[in-house]
A and B are shown apart, each in its own frame.
Chain A
């Protein structure tokens, strides 16, 4: 996939930390992805998914109220073809596994390198 292709990929960023949202958006924008929306909690993530129907979603695993995994499930309920990539930290293996079981397409471990994000999103978005 070429760099131009990334412009065709729409992304929804879900994370309760404004800092993380900004950091991820910066990386995505830099590499030409189209960030259509961001959400600061699970419920908002689900709502925005329904509204924007992005190609890919980055979903933080640890969030208060509705967790990333719950939001993942709700999104998958709404759209079984949803492509959700979990953002996790070291030591969260069990949660990541659960997320994979719940339908997450892949995951990114913090602290991440820029290529991790771009590569993962490109691959996930292009899976057929």
Chain B
């Protein structure tokens, strides 16, 4: 496993470009630009929260910092499964926002050149919204995520982009 860089200074950004961390949800392989990623941690006890969306499982204590964690399966509308020892939390940041993403398992860091990246096809369905592009590496398809959309406020998004609106059941009150 190669090391992921922490400081996202401009100089470092360049060398991060085109590199993606890939992870599995069921049989699908997704990728996230490593410029967003600051940590990969094991599953740990999560403190549940009231009044949050179902896919927000709660919060964890990351060396003194409190990080909210999201179950990406649920975010994508997939059925929930039990966590295994391979389940990981990918800690990603954009600006002040920091979120942990619970995924089935983490694969590797891949370099995908821009030429191998294409626009996603327009299909109806939940996961479509969060895919920024499709990458091809060694004949395998990697679904490259749009992190900003992933952590965006859905109601707000629905108002701004009504065509991509999709129901997400809020947590039972």
Instruction: State yes or no: do A and B touch (Cβ within 8 Å).
Output: no
